[in-house]
Chains A and B, each alone.
Chain A
Amino acid sequence: MSPRYTDLQLDALRELANIASGTAATALSQMLAREVELNVPRALALPLADAVEAAGAPGETVSGVVIPLEGDIEGLVLLLIPLDSAETLCRLLGVEAGSEVGDSALSEIGNILGTSYLNALAAMTGLALGPCPPHLSTDLLGAIVASVLAATAGEAEMALVMDSELDVAGEPCSMSFLLLPTAGGAGDLLAPLGLAETAA
């Protein structure tokens, strides 16, 4: 059965995403020594194809960093960095974009964002949550997001997407950060909030 989410549940998830991505933005800001702005996070329950569209243009080339979750919740976090933003990030960190070191730096950004996001989420919910090592692929956005969704939400009709947009101030640099729990994982995230019951 496909889970459905009530407005109350989505509001609660949005608030979790808001606080957790605020923590992640602070971590990125410290790493880059730049101000990082956080746009209003979203929590969306969407059919799979729409979830891909919500993440961006499927034909755009992006760097995607996947960080599978370890602990009480099944799912993964996905950091999507457009090509020009990836170049900016590498420049800010003093490494060459597109090189092995550049890719490693992007993975590390994913790791730091993911860890701080998950730590904040764990603190709020009391769940044990941690990141697995990151995996990077620079490819078509559609290929990255659809493959990740197939693995997490594949059998359900609806995917839960919690995303936030991070902008590095004064630089042409933005990225989106997505938490993609499995259908079961979303329920586990809502349970500590007393909102586990899914709508009929």
Chain B
Amino acid sequence: MGELKVSRARDGELVAIGLGSCIGLAVVDGSACVAGLAHVVLPDSQGVNGPAAKFADTAIPEMMASLRTVGASKSRCRAVLVGGARMFALSGGLDIGARNDAAVREALALEGIEMLAAATGGNRGRTVRVMVGTGEVLVQEAGGDNFTLLGPRRPDARHARPIRQLKLTGAET
């Protein structure tokens, strides 16, 4: 919760196990073969001092700064979101997952980072794995499927790749 890691290890894998209302924000630069993963907990830092990656508004600038140190170029960076579920339908409780999802998307837009895919919403926990060398993003849903949210980098298809957005509900797909 609030962690951020970047890597340029070709055989590296970044993992966030058990994302509920939190967002796993993966940012990959396929050409440089570097990737980062942040575990975002809340939508808005409201000026609170804490780990930058914990809040959507501070996580994205922190992610981009960290990625630069391992050789990423901002213009090539693409983002993928996983998580933001509503685990418990608490009466009167605010849907933190949905607010996290919206806040991360807004912060990405503000920073000018394109979002390629998302597996957010619904009511199931998820685990996300980012393969640093290939830029693949794999998702495992609790009690459900494993699927590839973002395929391995193919330079020829990079600009042709459509934006794929999976809005998952509780039902298996």
Hey, which bits of chain A sit against chain B, CB under 8 A? 48-49, 52, 58-59, 61, 64, 66, 68, 132-133, 135, 137-151, 154-155, 157
Contact = CB atoms under 8 A, between A and B. Distances in A.
B41 to A, nearest CB: 5
B93 A146 contact: no
B154 to A, nearest CB: 31
Interface string B108-143: 000000000000000111110000000000000011
Nearest to B94: A151
Interface stretch (B16-24, B66-74, B160-168): B16-24
B42 A61 contact: no
Given A139-B87, A143-B85, A154 B41 contact: yes
B92 to A, nearest CB: 9
A143 B142 CA distance: 9
Nearest to B40: A150
Given A59-B17, A142-B20, A147 B96 contact: yes
B127 A59 contact: yes
B173 interface: no
Contact of B19 (A135, A137, A142, A157): A142
Contacts of B123: 137
Interface in B34-90: 39, 41-42, 46, 48, 50, 54, 85, 87-90
Given A48-B1, A150-B42, A155-B48, A143 B88 contact: no
Sort chain B's interface into a size bin: 20 to 34
Nearest to B96: A150
A58 B18 contact: yes
A135 B90 contact: yes
Given A49-B2, A61-B143, A137-B123, A146 B88 contact: no
B143 A146 contact: no
Contacts of A155: 42, 46, 48, 50
23 contacts: A48-B1, A49-B2, A52-B1, A61-B143, A132-B91, A135-B90, A137-B88, A137-B123, A139-B142, A140-B18, A140-B126, A142-B125, A143-B19, A143-B20, A143-B142, A145-B18, A146-B18, A147-B22, A150-B22, A150-B96, A155-B46, A155-B48, A157-B50
A156 B151 CA distance: 37
A155 B42 CA distance: 8
B125 A140 contact: yes
B1 A59 contact: no
A52 B22 CA distance: 13
Contacts of B42: 150, 154-155
A148 to B, nearest CB: 8
A143 B18 contact: yes
Contact of B97 (A132, A140, A147): A147
Contacts of B18: 52, 58-59, 140-146
Contact of B96 (A52, A143, A151): A151
